[in-house]
Amino acid sequence: MTAPLPRSCPACDGTAATRIDQYSPPEWDVVACNRCGFVYLQNPPEYEALEEDYAWEKTYVEKTRKGGSTPFSRANRWLRTRLGLLGGRRETHLYPALFGAGRVLDIGCGNVVRARPPITPYGIELSRKLHAEADSEMRARGGYCLQEAGAEGVWKFDADFFDGAILHSYLEHEAQPMRVLQGLHRALKPGGKIIARMPNYGSLNRRAIGAKWCGFRHPDHVNYFTPASLAAMADRAGFSTRILNRANIWLDDNIQAVLTKRAAPTGSGGMGT
């Protein structure tokens, strides 16, 4: 396996961080930035390893085989469903209102084309196998999928090209999330929107379950967002943030949010958590 790369804070570029020992296996360092508090994996694998050794289809299958991170994972999911606190599948119903009939970029799309007609789908996917499957369907509908890292691929599209973007279970995997958001700010039309979903590091379950929380997946999860830290990073990249599941965010293991492109990024700043 390729040696992991040391990494500064992806939120504020700070270089000093404190290891969170209870969340860090021996070979991986989960840290909190000393400047802004953002939590991230300091020594993630290189993109080449994520492309093959830690490809999504491999790590997800292993997680599914185990049935979740703890013996209580299925029970917790059932309970949240019964209480109406799981909303992942209904995100797709928001696409027509958010994106209209325009062009939409799904970064980290896997082999799934989430946006349905009349939307024209585009994608970026690191896994070679999943890219090939997504590209075939997207081309049949007028778009296409790039096979490379999102932080590089997003800059290969023209400015003001997309009406919207989808970041579904993606930003937690991306070693350069700020570069991705800045690239999307360039690629989106004025007022363009991103719908994003990611694990919620601020959830009650993470505090109760600890290291076995379902949001920890070493080493392919490299960023750990709270609603506040997501909003701060988005603000720095030029987006306003609306949390869709704010009413139950304390219990939800995921954050669901809409980011809207402003006229210009605000620049650097602290994050908070």
pLDDT tens per residue, range 157-170: 999 999 999 999 99
DSSP state of 224: E
- The pTM score is 0.86
How confident is the model at residue 250, as a pLDDT? 86
What DSSP assignment string belongs to 6-47?
Answer: P---TTT----EEE-GGG--TT--EEEETTT--EEESSPPPH
pLDDT tens per residue, range 178-223: 999 999 999 999 999 999 999 999 999 999 999 999 999 999 999 9
How confident is the model at residue 149, as a pLDDT? 95
Domains of the chain: 27-261 (3.40.50.150)
User: What is the residue-averaged pLDDT of the chain?
Assistant: 87
How confident is the model at residue 251, as a pLDDT? 85
